Amino acid sequence: MTDDVVTYESNNNIAIITINRADKLNALTGDVVTGIRNAFIKLNESDDRCAILRGAGDRAFSVGADLKDPPRDPALWECMPGVGIDVDKPLIAAVSGYCVGGAYCLVQFCDIAVADDTADFFYPEAQIGFCGGLIAGLAARLPQKIAMEFMMTGKHFSAQRAFDVGMVNKVVPKGQLMEGAMEYAEIFRDSAPLVLATLKRFVRDEVIARGPSEQSAYAQRDLLAISRSEDQQEGARSFKEKRKPVFRGR
């Protein structure tokens, strides 16, 4: 459906997940967070071998949280791969235009990032007086001085600067973004999925340190799963009805 805020297309075992709010520069709302999370769940359950995550249009991958309708419930962290939801299949971020704030966190938690030469990365939380903290994990992924510059100054990093410091894997000319991302996707599609999944888990769970907000989100994820479960609803009903609950583990 063209009016979905996040779309999922599958072609030859490669998924393309699109943040579909081009008129709002793909700003992230609660509905978008839910859509991205649902797309990752669909990817996990599908025969697709990998996914490309992109923004609609060519003006922005995403400008981050929609300040007029920011994601609160669900919170932004709930759609972050490896934080709000584990995704063992390879994820490729395809970035054109602006990539701002929390949108860069999405790129950070993907496995591969491809940018076209219009990409403009910046993280302005310190300049607007807000902090979600997920970005702190960047210091475990980049040289510390580079990570601190990006996180704390709000300076714009061009596609070339992002490539030079290791934020993206490849820079391509405008108009060739999907071709550049598809080169990686085709390799992943034809590779051994058990090997790819194992390498992802080893790196995610044992190698890269989690920042405090990531650790907090990881714990909240498990607690929210309980609070939103059928078992919790059954527990409340059985207490009200003065009977023994029948739990089903879901």
> Is residue 30 within 8 Å of 71, Cβ to Cβ?
yes
Per-residue pLDDT of the chain (250 residues; tens, 9 = 90+): 345 999 999 999 999 999 999 999 999 999 999 999 999 999 999 999 999 999 999 999 999 999 899 998 899 999 999 999 999 999 999 999 999 999 999 999 999 999 999 999 999 999 988 888 999 999 999 999 999 999 999 999 999 999 999 999 999 999 999 999 999 999 999 999 999 999 999 999 999 988 888 888 878 888 888 888 888 988 888 888 898 989 888 8
CA-CA distances (angstroms) from residue 4 to 27, 129, 150? 14, 32, 32
For the chain, the maximum distance between any two Cα atoms, rounded to a whole number of angstroms, is: 66
Cis ω on the peptide bond leading into residue 74 (within 30° of 0)? yes
Contacting residues for 101 by C-beta, under 8 A, at least 6 apart: 63, 64, 65, 123, 124, 125
pLDDT given for residue 3 in this prediction:
58
| CA–CA dist 156, 14 (Å, integer) | 32
**Which of 127, 93, 98, 125 shows the shortest CA–CA distance to 112?**
93
Phi, psi at 145, each rounded to 5°: -65, -40
Backbone angles phi, psi at 146, to 5 degrees: -65, -45
pLDDT at site 2: 40
Residue 144: alpha-carbon gap to chain centroid: 22
What's this model's pTM, rounded to 2 decimal places? 0.90
> pLDDT at position 1, please?
36
Q: Report the topology of domain 6-191.
A: 2-enoyl-CoA Hydratase; Chain A, domain 1 (3.90.226)
